[in-house]
A and B are shown apart, each in its own frame.
Chain A
Amino acid sequence: MSVEVRNLTKSYGNFTAVKDVSLVVNTGQLVALVGPSGSGKTTLLRSIAGLEQPDPGAGTILLNGKDVAAEPVGRRKIGFVFQHYALFKHMTVGENVAFGLRVRPWRSRPSRQEIRKIVGELLDLVQLRGMERRYPSQLSGGQRQRIALARALATKPAVLLLDEPFGALDAKVRRELRQWLRQLHHDVGVTTIFVTHDQEEALEVADRVAVMNKGVIEQIGTPTEVYDHPATPFVQTFLGTVNLFRGRIAEDLQKSGETSNGRDPTSPGKATAFVRPHDVEISRLANGHPGLVGEVISTSMTGPTTRVYLQLSDSRELVEAELTRNRYHELALKIGDTVYVSWRKAKVFADDYSI
């Protein structure tokens, strides 16, 4: 089932949480909704599910092309997984998963045996077979999350909405579950929108990524598109670390190396260059290129790469560079060394654009 949101606005009192948002998710797609805390991700998701009503006259939600404004939550064929699981505390895992089936009117309700079978299958799917009898409080965070998912899947929803499914988990478990979710989506093939404020997660798992900020979707695209070709400075900053070099277009900025496209770099005026740490170049010698001068403040090893923190001598700004292990050893950097900084690739936005 496809999901389409048209010009949705949702306010709480006089605070607008979602402003004129439009979004199309095709059948079977896995879309990630990213953005900082308070940007309106949950609100958008809840509006799609029908847990919130859009402002009067402000927005339409279409499921499979049909306006669902009059459909209550229970009839939208949506599986919703809440940010904090919302498992029924007083029910066992089995009862939780079976809930959606048991509350059906008796005509369409599966028999006890069928329900037991479906629950068993779902628990297999989320790899928690044998835990039927436990209560939610006896599960780990990741297990609870998976039960919440199994519960939502039990009613065979046409759309799955996941609100920060891995929010409360530690990094390692998150990484595992991410892969698992990808696999699950592949197996079940249900249209899925999931919220996260972890960009790495979004880039890794989703078919497409929608970046939200202050109630607005700033950009939608494939992970490569939004990462490599950010439409706005916000998207660029939000997806991964970036260094900011402020300067005057064509003069200062030109001197530190070639610039990438963005705004017209030749037009004069103030602008900022955004450079990812792995695009920063460090050399011991001023090798012909016009470069900036900086001092090494500290270094840290993170797996296969090494991060070097520098302070520019003219602007006193901090720059983060990511070097391969080899390159780092080659340079033999020590704290206090003076080096030359330039970049391989940068994205320049004129300064009338504020983040």
Chain B
Amino acid sequence: MTTTTLATSSNRRADGENPATGSARWVRIVLTLATVAFIGIFVVLPLANVFAQAFSHGVSGYVHAFFADGPPRGVHMPVRERLKMITAASQARQTRSAIAMTLLVGTTAVVFNVVFGVAAAWAVGKFRFRGKTLLISLIDLPFSVSPVVAGLIFVLLFGREGVFGNWATHFKWPDPFSIYWRGFNGHWWPFGDDQQLEGIVFTPLGIVLGTIFVTFPFVARSLMPTVEAQGVEEEQAALSLGASGWQTFRRVTLPNIRWALLYGIMLCTCRAFGEFGAVSVVSGNTDANDTIPLRVEKLWQSYDSQAAFALASLLAGLALITLLIKGVVDWRRAATVRAGGGGVL
């Protein structure tokens, strides 16, 4: 994808054929080749390797990483074989649970960050107030804090011996995987739960918090320049034409920031799905709290590198899909801009 972008930009320059730079054509060729080689070595090769390793035991091996049967009951087989099958089945089950956990955590984090990111970008971009610079630095803070430290912050806050330890360790909440529909008969709230979880750190809630923390800047940061550049006049115009606050947001603000928002969401999703450090600390190494990256490491540490790569290939696939979406978005945006829609990123 990156290569395509590069290619188009150099094409564009070639169209304009500037005589002053035209003489240095070979510079352009050398630079392009160097870039392609660089990307080939550092991006394409490792990525291809991920897939090659993932399929090193064929398609069935790949599937086996996610779905493996335990030993058949009642069938006699050597102890070592039996134990191997038990391990494989348990590993596959945990791998699936890690995928579910990642989707859940990632989605929650993205939803939160979209809400707060839009709010933050709005506040910073549209208003002047005391402490604004401080707020911007605070929004950027997760970029400069090591993720591991971020995780530890939550442990120090919500751990048993932490600042809010007493409250946090007894905090009960429903396990999202156990929520089911029970209907309205006799209840005002139609959802029930089988299982309650307790505590914040070392539970999925801690994972969500850690992920939100490290991904917070992405949405806010990708929106800020756009929101700021947009200024307040269009919104004031909408208000003066009788639009309500929500109508103004929905019909004027949102269409103007949609590409930036989509881009922010993509960055945020990738990071949320791929986050390791912060999540590693607050997961307490518990298998039930594993997300895909944590699980990849555990598989790798269990010497099951094929399964580790199979799982990693999902993340790599996600990255590729993201790039694809980004490509489409860029293309669509360019098209709208050409049509005069002025979709500023």
Contacts and interface: CB of A to CB of B under 8 A. Distances in A.
Interface of A: 49, 51, 72-75, 78-80, 82, 84, 86-90, 99-100, 103-104, 134-138, 151-152, 154-155
A211 B161 CA distance: 70
Interface string B300-319: 00000000000000000000
B195 interface: no
B338 to A, nearest CB: 10
Contacts of A134: 340
Interface in B174-195: none
A89 B241 contact: no
Contacts of B241: 74, 99-100, 103, 151-152, 154-155
Contacts, number: 78
A137 B247 contact: no
Contacts of A90: 255-256, 336, 341-343
A223 B233 CA distance: 31
14 contacts: A51-B240, A73-B236, A74-B242, A74-B243, A79-B240, A88-B238, A90-B336, A99-B251, A100-B242, A135-B341, A137-B341, A137-B342, A151-B241, A152-B240
Contacts of B236: 51, 73, 80, 82, 86
B343 to A, nearest CB: 7
A151 B242 CA distance: 12
Nearest to B241: A100
A49 B236 CA distance: 10
Contacts of A87: 234, 237
A89 B240 contact: no
B340 A135 contact: yes
A134 B342 CA distance: 12
Nearest to A139: B340
A155 B237 CA distance: 12
Nearest to B252: A88
Contacts of B340: 134-138
B115 interface: no
Q: Which 9 A-B pairs rank lowest in CB-CB distance, beginning with the nearest?
A: A135-B340, A89-B342, A100-B241, A86-B233, A103-B243, A137-B340, A86-B237, A74-B242, A80-B240
Contact of A80 (B237, B247, B251, B343): B237
Among B237, B240, B340: residue with most chain A CB under 10 A: B240
Given A135-B340, A137-B342, A88 B234 contact: yes
B244 interface: yes
Contacts of B255: 90
B240 A78 contact: yes
A28 B256 CA distance: 37
B238 A99 contact: yes
B239 interface: yes
Given A88-B238, A89-B234, A90-B342, 14 more contacts: A73-B236, A73-B240, A80-B237, A90-B341, A99-B251, A103-B241, A103-B243, A103-B244, A134-B340, A137-B341, A137-B342, A151-B237, A152-B240, A155-B241
A103 B233 contact: no
Nearest to B247: A103
B301 to A, nearest CB: 51
Contacts of A82: 233, 236-237
Contacts of A103: 238, 241-244, 247, 251
Contacts of B251: 99, 103
A73 B342 contact: no
A135 B342 contact: yes
Contact of A73 (B239, B252, B256): B239
B240 A74 contact: yes
B339 interface: yes
Given A103-B241, A135-B342, A86 B247 contact: no
Contacts of A138: 340
Nearest to A103: B243
Contact of A136 (B233, B242, B342): B342
B342 A49 contact: no
A135 B339 contact: yes
A84 B242 CA distance: 20
Interface string B246-268: 01000110011000000000000
A111 to B, nearest CB: 18
Nearest to A84: B233
A322 B247 CA distance: 56
A288 B238 CA distance: 67
Interface in B77-100: none
A89 B341 CA distance: 6
A50 to B, nearest CB: 8
Among B234, B256, B343: residue with most chain A CB under 10 A: B234
Contacts of A74: 239-244
A86 B252 CA distance: 11
A78 B237 CA distance: 11
Contacts of A136: 340, 342
